[in-house]
Amino acid sequence: MYTIRCVLGSSAQYLASLPALRHTIKLHYRMSSLPHPLAAVCQVTATPNKEANFSTCKQLVEDASERGAHMVFLPEGFDYIGSSREETLSLSESLSGDTISRYTQLARKLGVWLSLGGFHERGHDWETDQRIYNSHIIINDKGDIVSVYRKSHLFDVELPEKGVSLKESAFTIPGPSIVSPVQTPIGKVGLGICYDLRFPELSLALQKHGAEILTYPSAFTVATGAAHWEVLLRARAIETQCFVLAAAQVGKHHEKRMSYGHALAVDPWGEVLGDCGGEKPGMVLVEMDLEKVNRTRRNMPVQQHRRDVAFYHVLDQT
């Protein structure tokens, strides 16, 4: 398995200051012949400044493209992280708005697929109820939106001893359904978002419908991230025998919020292939060897050993 860890600087200016390094890496990828496609799993520090966020994400996508990535994964809240309910709602857009339009143009220009892992999408009854969806959008290399998954499990959690208090349902509509895994150049990708990670039923349903890769773009709190982030991602990989790619937010977004970071790539055996760390924006590049999925499932055929649905519901009948 070919894995590169690349921890980048905290701004687009830092990236732009490395032209010689970027040129060298670009030449390296042109000269090498990798047997499997590359995925870029990114880590950013979004703020309420949408223009600055786009500039940083655009630079990461361009850098990943130059390094040979076929698909780039951005985290939940890649567009912005607001400092209040009112700001969060006021900055939201529809799928036809300027933000997603800019990303479709970027994907088409660079010829890469994008996973935009948590867009603040205005709800269908926006004029009436002023609520949004937390939407995971997949854009292909032609600039077309090929899938939209709206987060189904909302983070309503009070952990006073940990300093965590968030009520996502106060302004977010739960998504109506899971969506089918998407065929991409790196494999068949099943979509989740952040808190969805805690619900194995979702990952097992996606695996059952053909997912080879699960992705959980996130903005985990520092407290919950330190306790549960890596172990949950590895558990989802082990139980489904899928790759798991988890782009992440990191650091201080504004006075009220910080994120844990540690964007991860995990293989079907549960081995961590790349970790962006907990301090700065960056990315990990991972070669997606789908034969490892097949080999893991063949050698340990967990899904074949699974009993029928009625077996697991027998206790409900007693």
Q: Which residues are catalytic?
A: 76, 151, 194
Q: Report the alpha-carbon distance of residue 172 to residue 166 in Å, rounded.
A: 12
Residue 202, both tokens: 């979702």
Kindly provide the residue ranges of all beta strands, DSSP E only, lying in 88-203, ordered along the sequence: 113-122, 132-139, 145-150, 156-159, 164-167, 182-184, 187-191
CB contact at 8 A, 281 and 43? yes
Q: Produce one character per residue of 237-253: b if its CB has 16 or more CB atoms within 10 Å, e if not.
A: bbebbbbbbbbbbbbeb
Q: Report the alpha-carbon distance of residue 98 to residue 79 in Å, rounded.
A: 11
Handedness of CA 238, 268, 79, 258 (dihedral sign): positive
Q: Report the alpha-carbon distance of residue 301 to residue 308 in Å, rounded.
A: 15
Q: Using alpha carbons only, what angle is made at residue 126 by residues 122 and 132, rounded to the nearest 5 degrees?
A: 35
Token pair 């600055």 in the structure block, residue: 52
Sequential DSSP letters for 238-297? HHHT-EEEE-EEEEEEETTEEEE---EEE-TTS-EEEE--SSS-EEEEEE--HHHHHHHH
Residue 203, amino acid: S
